[in-house]
């Protein structure tokens, strides 16, 4: 017995010595790498401030860092904000960094849509969607749809809040505003979620719940959420219910569109431009898409149309509402910027009594140089998608010298890039729209691998121009007609989600401007 106890003491002594050595060796590391459990304690401790924590770690590590998970758990990953690494991963060695199996499973709701797809499936969808989104009919429909929603949804809500002097969550306003707009543009159906009183909308709610579940999948071990999925408990049960609700909604829209197209007459064709939507256009392009999909082994089905529609709704709802929310908070806390934007709007709308002025065409927006700069500066500081996921198809060495194992996840921290003096200078943390305007009043071009709000390389955002159109239209009509004041002491912080929302919303008071 004494011998056994002696061996136990020796074993404990070695473990204690190992922990002391580990602590000493890692004393300068951004995150402590513990035996067996890896860096999990440090990551969990900072999970509620993950973007700021990632920035702190990357700054200390030289902008690229190998994160270690528990032994044998397959949770190791590389995180980087180094512009050369970003350029290499997104462009120069694009083929070696697909979305990968793990991403596809986490973002299950996106199915085979463009955000999940790789290879031929991705190429065909991108080609078709590029032709549709860049179509002049789509741009005209975009402007028309936003104007209608401003008149019938946004103005009534803002007027109501102004008259009653009540507080308003501007983030929820923008989420409902963009959800209605993108559903109309993609499906030809307006859910009508943006109205006074914020009536419950099961489709918008289902979408938000799916988004929350997807974030949960990203922060827990794969085995954990898959067990919950198998047992249908917790977040996975919520995901399943929301998934079925939203996909029934999409399926019904696709069925109705298919029936209408089969009965369409020449008179209906004349109205096509007026009622343009992407789902109808996709159904009309079905044969073209199927021809392109032959090489990938896929066929055009209702399920694929559903997945494409879901991806388009996701792109148009969250990213734009996030950008608008952060923009209005920034100008509310920077009065001089708001004044310059208001002056620019006034100079372009000089007609007296021209209240609640709407935009007639996308061409009008080209005159708003300073507004464009302020929006770019907002997206620089608060990119709607703060972290992007890739998977290394084969082992690789990044330009920074960091080794990436085969099938290892690589996270690109776009949020951190805005906080790098090496890219933006010593004033990188400041909100300065003027950094985007040259002395000759020209717009400063920044490479996409440095200004990453719209991604970089072949997967750059197809709807970049359309996103600016929507944000500018909303910004112009609100700033021209109303003054937005953030409620005193309202907490502002980033949310724990896949899109950079505000954690506590944006509570504001609205007052009408004097004309």
471-502: per-residue pLDDT in tens? Answer: 999 999 999 999 999 999 999 999 878 899 99
Round to whole Å and give the CA distance between 114 and 266. Answer: 33
Round to whole Å and give the CA distance between 270 and 290. Answer: 27
Q: For the stretch 305-344, what's the b/e string if a residue is b when 16 or more beta carbons lie within 10 angstroms of its beta carbon?
A: bbbbbbbbbbbbbbbbbbbbbbbbbbbbebeebbebbbeb
Round to whole Å and give the CA distance between 155 and 477. Answer: 9
Burial class (CB in 10 A: 0-12, 13-18, 19+), 56: middle
Domain that holds residue 454: 76-512
pLDDT, tens digit (0-9, with 9 covering 90-100), for 248-298: 999 988 888 888 877 766 555 555 556 788 888 888 776 666 666 666 556
- Does any domain span residue 36? no
Predicted pLDDT of residue 501: 94
Predicted pLDDT of residue 420: 95
The percentage of residues in the chain with a pLDDT greater than 70, rounded to a whole number, is 84
Predicted pLDDT of residue 298: 63
Predicted pLDDT of residue 17: 40
- Does any domain span residue 409? yes
DSSP 3-45: HHHHHHHHHHHHHHHHHHHHHHHTTTSSS--BTTTBTHHHHHH
- Does any domain span residue 313? yes
Predicted pLDDT of residue 29: 60
- Does any domain span residue 69? no
Predicted pLDDT of residue 515: 64
Residue with the larger pLDDT of the pair 426 and 260: 426
Residue 353, pLDDT > 80, answer: no
CATH code at position 266: 1.10.630.10
Q: Across all residues in the chain, what is the average pLDDT?
A: 85
Confidence of residue 200 (pLDDT cuts 50, 70, 90): confident
Confidence of residue 131 (pLDDT cuts 50, 70, 90): confident
Residue 21, pLDDT > 70, answer: no
Residue 50, pLDDT > 50, answer: yes
**Number of folded domains in the chain?**
1
Q: Is the dihedral of CA 276, 282, 283, 286 positive or negative?
A: positive
| Confidence (pTM) | 0.89
Mean pLDDT of 96-109: 89
407 sits in the region (left: phi over 0; alpha: psi -120 to 50; else beta) called left
- Does any domain span residue 177? yes
Whether 86 contacts 412, CB under 8 Å: yes
Token pair for residue 188?
């030809």
Residue with the larger pLDDT of the pair 24 and 182: 182
Round to whole Å and give the CA distance between 59 and 52. Answer: 11
DSSP 280-305: HHHHHTHHHHHHHHGGGT----HHHH
Angle at 332 between CA 326 and CA 333, to 5 degrees: 90
Predicted pLDDT of residue 497: 82
The percentage of residues in the chain with a pLDDT greater than 90, rounded to a whole number, is 51
- Does any domain span residue 100? yes
Confidence of residue 158 (pLDDT cuts 50, 70, 90): very high
Mean pLDDT of 313-335: 94
- Does any domain span residue 139? yes
- Does any domain span residue 233? yes
Token pair for residue 423?
């890219």
| Range from 63-67, 131-135, 424-428 that averages highest in pLDDT | 424-428
Round to whole Å and give the CA distance between 416 and 381. Answer: 9
Sheet strands (E) in 251-391: 387-391
């Amino acid at each position: 017995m004494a011998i056994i106890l002696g061996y136990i003491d020796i074993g404990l002594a070695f473990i204690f010595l190992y922990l002391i050595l580990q602590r000493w060796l890692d004393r300068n590391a951004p995150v402590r790498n513990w035996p067996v459990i890896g860096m999990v304690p440090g990551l969990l401790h900072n999970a509620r401030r993950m973007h700021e924590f990632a920035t702190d770690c990357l700054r200390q590590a030289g902008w690229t860092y190998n994160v270690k998970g528990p032994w044998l758990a397959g949770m190791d990953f590389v995180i980087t904000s180094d512009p050369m690494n970003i350029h290499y991963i997104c462009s120069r060695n694009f083929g070696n960094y697909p979305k990968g199996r793990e991403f596809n499973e986490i973002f299950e709701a996106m199915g085979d849509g463009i955000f999940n797809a790789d290879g031929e499936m991705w190429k065909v969808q991108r080609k078709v969607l590029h032709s549709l989104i860049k179509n002049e009919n789509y741009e005209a429909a975009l402007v028309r749809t936003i104007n209608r929603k401003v008149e019938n949804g946004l103005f009534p809500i803002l007027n109501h809040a102004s008259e009653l002097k009540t507080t308003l969550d501007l983030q929820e306003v923008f989420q409902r505003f963009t959800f209605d707009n993108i559903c109309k543009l993609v499906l030809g159906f307006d859910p009508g979620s943006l109205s006074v009183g914020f009536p419950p909308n099961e489709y918008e709610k289902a979408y938000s719940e799916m988004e929350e579940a997807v974030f949960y999948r990203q922060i827990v071990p794969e085995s954990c959420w898959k067990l919950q999925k198998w047992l249908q408990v917790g977040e996975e049960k919520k995901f399943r219910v929301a998934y079925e609700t939203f996909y029934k909604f999409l399926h019904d829209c696709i069925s109705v569109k298919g029936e209408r197209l089969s009965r369409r007459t020449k008179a209906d064709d004349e109205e096509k431009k007026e009622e343009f939507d992407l789902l109808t256009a996709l159904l009309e392009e079905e044969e073209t898409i199927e021809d392109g999909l032959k090489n990938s082994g896929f066929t055009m089905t209702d399920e694929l149309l559903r997945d494409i529609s879901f991806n388009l709704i996701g792109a148009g709802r969250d990213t734009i509402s996030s950008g608008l929310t952060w923009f209005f908070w920034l100008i509310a806390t920077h009065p001089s910027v708001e004044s310059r934007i208001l002056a620019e709007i006034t100079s372009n709308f000089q007609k007296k009594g021209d209240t609640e002025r709407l935009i007639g065409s996308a061409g009008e927006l080209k005159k708003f140089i300073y507004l464009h700069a302020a929006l770019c500066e907002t997206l620089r500081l608060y990119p709607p998608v703060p972290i992007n996921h890739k998977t290394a198809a084969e082992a690789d060495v990044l330009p920074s010298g960091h080794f990436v194992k085969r099938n290892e996840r690589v996270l690109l921290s776009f949020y951190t890039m805005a906080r790098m003096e090496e890219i933006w200078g010593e004033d990188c943390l400041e909100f300065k729209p003027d950094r985007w305007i040259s002395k000759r009043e020209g717009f400063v071009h920044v490479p996409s691998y440095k200004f990453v709000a719209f991604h970089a390389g072949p997967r750059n955002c197809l709807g970049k121009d359309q996103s600016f159109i929507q944000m500018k239209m909303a910004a112009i009509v609100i700033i021209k007609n109303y003054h937005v004041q953030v409620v005193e002491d309202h907490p502002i912080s980033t949310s724990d989600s896949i899109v950079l929302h505000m954690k506590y919303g944006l509570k504001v008071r609205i007052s009408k401007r004097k004309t």
